[in-house]
Amino acid sequence: MADLSTHLPKSFISSKDVKNLIAACQALHRVRYFLQENSSRDDFKKGGFRFNCFNKLISVDALQALCLLPKCFGIFGLANNEDIRKFCLQNADIIFCTASSVANINPARIGSVDLLVVDETAQLKECESVAALQLPGLCHALLIGDEYQLPAMVHNEECDKAKFGRSLFERLVLIGHSKHLLNVQYRMHPSISRFPNKEFYGGRITDAANVQESIYEKRFLQGNMFGTFSFINVGRGKEEFGDGHSPKNMVEVAVISKIISNLFKVSSQRKQKMSVGVISPYKGQVRAIQERVGDKYNSLSVDQLFTLNVQSVDGFQGGEVDVIIISTVRCNVNGNVGFLSNRQRANVALTRARHCLWVIGNGTTLALSGSIWAELISESRTRGCFYDAVDDKNLRDAMSDALLDDVSSSFGSLSIRNGRRNDW
């Protein structure tokens, strides 16, 4: 019943009929239960109290519910699940499916298709779009996507060089096919949207009225460092490469862990709903942060006021939260940032936050990288949004502890007097 009401057009079965069907089924279940409980009793006889209750249940409850149903629904010959699936597909006005499952759809099952809408087209390999474009009777195709964000995943370098991961969307754009830009963004505070709009979209995106209202600006933590947009410089970090060759930076992990702890404390004290996302391009850093914070915040927040999500850039595509913390990880004197320099990944990471975006990293390394992150450092300095983590006592202590842990693990036990900190 639920499947039919979900997948069939309203011309076959209306929402009102579905509600009446459910009510009738529930009434019949009550009748059956009453009979199961009372039919074998000695006092269940005509003229008796229980028998009269049964008659009333039938006439008032069940029959009234059944009388509200139409005599038929125009649905015949559905002997098994396959017949039901075929009937639903052939009569549906809209069909939702994945790109890969389109290949399993044949004309006998769905009939002709007039309009095809493909979402996130820029993440589809060109070959993955072919099956959908061969649907019978297709007159119009609408491709929705953003070639400036994540492309399709290609795990082989040679295939990547051969542009095997290029989408049909990107190819059409490259050959000059006209496209319509959805030029109003409703997610980010203007202080957050300003940089990606300029760098990736040539300033063509405008901020909707809702994000420009004064109430949209949120201050979750005290201090200018934790405003709407800021770069927080962690100058004494250290990039480490593990067995998986994916780097991590435990000083940044400590800083981020402290910020999350402070946000959770504020959320609990104020009874304020807050969603926080932590993004890093590197799996090694994502794992390190996940291991550090564990599941304690989601388990402690019984009322679900505070939610935390730690993911890679790919895992956050299409998502949005109140606060985004980006861990850039890289820390070296050459400005070598590897695939952190990928503009599409940077675009995704920088456009997930609603109210606050805090980028954590080594300002010197990123400034020397010659990448999009060098532009971000320059922008944050120009706007007065560049801050040193050591200027915040909580973050300074967290960094000190992380460095001491690193020294201890490298050289064994280290005797340090209680309360003593490194000089920054």
For residues 371 and 378, give the distance between their C-alpha atoms in angstroms, rounded to a whole number.
11
Domain that holds residue 265: 185-411
Helix, strand, coil % over all residues of the chain, rounded to 5 = 50, 15, 40
Q: What angle do CA 280, 174, 143 make, to 5 degrees?
A: 75
Q: Report the distance separating Cα 382 and Cα 371, nearest Å.
A: 17
pLDDT score of 414: 42
Q: Which two tokens stand for residue 369?
A: 């990288």
- DSSP per-residue letters across 331-369: --SS---GGGG-HHHHHHHHT-EEEEEEEEE-HHHHHTS
Q: Which of 149, 180, 211 is the last residue of a domain?
A: 180
Do 238 and 378 reside in the same domain of the chain? yes
422 occurs within a structural domain? no
- Give me the number of domains the chain comprises: 3
Last residue of a domain, one of 131, 149, 180: 180
* 267 and 218 fall within a common domain: yes
Q: What is the CATH number of the domain that holds 133?
A: 3.40.50.300
Residues 338 and 191 in one domain: yes
Q: Which of 162, 180, 198 is the last residue of a domain?
A: 180
pTM value > 0.85: no
Tell me: do 212 and 261 sit in the same domain.
Answer: yes
One pLDDT digit (tens) per residue for the chain, 424 residues: 666 667 666 667 777 878 888 888 888 888 888 888 888 887 788 878 888 888 888 887 788 778 877 777 666 666 677 777 777 777 777 888 888 787 777 666 667 788 999 998 888 888 888 878 888 888 899 999 998 998 888 888 888 888 888 899 988 988 999 999 999 999 999 999 999 999 999 999 999 999 999 999 999 999 999 999 999 999 888 899 876 678 999 999 999 999 999 999 999 999 999 999 999 999 999 999 999 998 878 766 567 889 999 999 988 888 999 999 999 999 999 999 988 999 999 999 999 999 999 999 999 999 999 999 999 999 999 999 999 999 999 999 999 998 887 766 655 544 444 444 444 4
